[in-house]
């Protein structure tokens, strides 16, 4: 459906409880939801949460396991993918994160932890193009995003789409991955628009 890098930040900022639950299933509209295993869509996604949200999830159910500043939810998203919550000290501050990890991969939670620390330790505040697109997808209301259907050329079917407002062409659906820099900037909140673009590692 969509080629994804193994580990990806899907939202900028700290998600509150409403945002957190929405981000848990940001692919809810995907085609063939009932028939296709979407593990590859979710595995590797991560975002920051607040301490209150982290502690709330810890108290809902006894965790599957706890170790080294992380715990796994007992309820699995798919056969082997579940939520891992992290408490991490980064640049002298305690921060909290959620990620989807595949527990069939033995070091998946530890590798995710290392990837989060590396990403959040960048010396300059910046975003990659992929992070901008993922943030737009995460922040766009369901009514204004979707997936390319049968009216699209076969090579685009199943890819993510968002509604764009163009001054010359009016409102139109575009493939998320094909948004121009100007369209991306228009869809980002003001405080993120002017961050430098960091090349993906």
- Domain extents for the chain? 8-120, 129-193
Alpha-carbon distance of 99 to 42, in angstroms, equals: 9
The confidence band for 9, taking pLDDT boundaries of 50, 70 and 90, is very high
Q: Is the pLDDT of residue 173 over 90?
A: no
Task: Between 4 and 36, name the one with better pLDDT.
Answer: 36
| Inter-residue long-range contacts of 1-5, CB under 8 Å, 24+ positions, other chains counted | 1/30, 1/31, 1/41, 1/147, 1/158, 1/159, 2/41, 2/158, 2/159, 2/160, 2/177, 4/40, 4/41, 4/44, 5/44, 5/130, 5/200
Considering the chain, what is the average pLDDT of its residues?
86
- What percent of the chain has a predicted confidence (pLDDT) above 90? 45
- Indicate the burial class of 71 (C-beta count within 10 angstroms; 0-12, 13-18, 19 or more): buried
Lowest average pLDDT, out of 31-35, 118-122, 162-166, goes to 31-35
Give the pLDDT mean for 71-93: 91
Task: Between 112 and 36, name the one with better pLDDT.
Answer: 112
Give the pLDDT mean for 121-134: 86
Name the pTM for this structure: 0.85
Q: Is the pLDDT of residue 37 over 90?
A: no
The residues, ordered by sequence, that sit 6+ positions from 163 with a Cβ below 8 Å of its Cβ are: 140, 144, 145, 171, 172, 173
């Amino acid at each position: 459906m969509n080629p994804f890098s193994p580990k990806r930040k899907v939202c900028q900022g700290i998600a509150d409880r409403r945002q957190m639950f929405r981000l848990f299933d940001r692919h809810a509209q995907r085609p063939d939801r009932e028939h296709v295993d979407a593990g590859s869509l979710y595995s590797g996604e991560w975002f920051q949460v607040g301490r209150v949200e982290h502690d709330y999830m810890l108290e809902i159910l006894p965790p599957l396991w706890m170790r080294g500043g992380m715990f796994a939810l007992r309820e699995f998203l798919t056969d082997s993918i579940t939520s891992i919550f992290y408490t991490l000290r980064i640049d002298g501050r305690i921060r909290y994160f959620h990620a989807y990890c595949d527990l069939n991969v033995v070091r998946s939670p530890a590798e995710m932890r290392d990837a989060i620390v590396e990403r959040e330790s960048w010396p300059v505040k910046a975003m990659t193009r992929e992070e901008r697109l993922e943030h737009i997808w995460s922040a766009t209301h369901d009514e204004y995003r979707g997936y390319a259907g049968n009216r699209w050329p076969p090579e685009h079917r199943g890819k993510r789409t968002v509604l764009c407002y163009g001054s010359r062409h009016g409102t139109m659906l575009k493939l998320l991955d094909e948004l121009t820099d100007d369209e991306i900037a228009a869809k980002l909140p003001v405080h993120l628009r002017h961050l430098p673009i960091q090349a993906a590692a």
